[in-house]
Amino acid sequence: MFQDKRVVVVMPAYNAASTLLATHREVLGWGIVDLVIVVDDSSGDETVAIARELPQTLVHVHERNRGYGANQKSCFRLALEEGADIVVMVHPDYQYTPKLLPAMVGLVASGLYPCILGSRILGGGALRGGMPLWKYVANRGLTFVQNLLMGAKLSEFHTGYRAFSRQLLEELPLEANSDDFVFDAQVLAEVLWAGAPIGEVSCPTKYFPEASSIGLGRSLRYGLGCLWTAFEYRSRRAGLGSSERFPDSRSLSWGSPE
């Protein structure tokens, strides 16, 4: 609990056997997390066996590999079913430090921000933490275009460390999003569409082989998906087309996007 809020951490896991335990231990170490939900996307390693031994943890298994977006859909659905007031998504690959949990949860609990991102770009630690140069350049370039097209000022759209309030998650049409990696970009576009404020905290990151498996091909597809999502947002703002993600009527409590 944080103040009177039930805090649930969700981990979309795929072949995370070597890092799950370390991530999980630090997550619980803060004493503010009520429940951890691990969703396994049909890993080929011992992820499920390890997860089932963890305390305060709900394990959900996809019988077949459905993708990172589908994994997050399960994570958020289960977290809401389990009565979460605040949901934090963190990759179980030990790339993002759980030491930021109290800060991120605190900012959501305060009511200031229904969405908080742990940014590897703010504070300038990404390259120092070992982010490959090509990923850094792609991150900066994509973020620039996404900000431009969606009228945002985020330092990065690509972090795997995100906190949400229950109210915001319930209002986002998450099921309309992709089952693939571009889900990450689509969620943030939906948050912006809802006019909900997004806060960022700087987040140290570390790259090591187990923490980074996405290669050039899948990254390219992801990048194109990010750009397409931003264009779709821009078009919808101009009143063109239709999209489940960006509906005409925005009966949301955060007001209209600028």
Binding site for ligand GDP (CB under 6 A): 12, 14, 16, 41, 65, 67-68, 71, 91, 93, 95, 160, 211-214
Does position 93 bind Mg ion by CB under 5 A? yes
Does position 16 bind Mg ion by CB under 5 A? no
What DSSP line would sit under 163-221, residue for residue?
A: EEEHHHHHHS-GGGS-SSTTHHHHHHHHHHHTT--EEEEE--B---GGG----HHHHHH
Number of residues located near Mg ion, criterion CB under 5 A:
4
Sheet holding 86-90, edge to edge: 57-61, 35-40, 7-13, 86-90, 161-165, 115-119, 198-202
Residue 5 in contact with residue 89, Cβ under 8 Å?
A: no
| Backbone dihedral angles phi then psi of residue 68, each to the nearest 5 degrees | -65, -35
Question: Which of 95, 146, 177, 205: binder of Mg ion (CB under 5 A)?
Answer: 95
Q: Quick one: which segment of 3-11, 62-70, 87-95, 125-133 binds Mg ion (CB under 5 A)?
A: 87-95
Among ligand GDP, Mg ion, none, partner that 65 touches (CB below 5 to 8 angstroms by kind): ligand GDP
Would you state the structure tokens that stand for residue 103, as one six-digit string? 């800060």
Closest separation between CB of residue 127 and Mg ion, Å? 15
Among Mg ion, ligand GDP, none, partner that 56 touches (CB below 5 to 8 angstroms by kind): none
User: Distance between CA 128 and CA 96 in Å, rounded?
Assistant: 14
Does position 211 bind Mg ion by CB under 5 A? yes
Closest separation between CB of residue 64 and ligand GDP, Å? 11
Tell me the three state secondary structure of residue 18. Answer: coil
Closest separation between CB of residue 192 and ligand GDP, Å? 21
By beta-carbon proximity to ligand GDP, the closer residue of 159 and 229 is 159
Among Mg ion, ligand GDP, none, partner that 12 touches (CB below 5 to 8 angstroms by kind): ligand GDP
Residue 15 in contact with residue 91, Cβ under 8 Å?
A: no
Closest separation between CB of residue 130 and ligand GDP, Å? 10
Among Mg ion, ligand GDP, none, partner that 43 touches (CB below 5 to 8 angstroms by kind): none
Instruction: Spell out, one character per residue from 163 to 202, where the chain touches Mg ion: x when CB under 5 A holds, - when not.
Output: ----------------------------------------
| Backbone dihedral angles phi then psi of residue 134, each to the nearest 5 degrees | -65, -35
User: Distance between CA 148 and CA 242 in Å, rounded?
Assistant: 21
Residues in contact with Mg ion by the rule CB under 5 A:
93, 95, 211-212
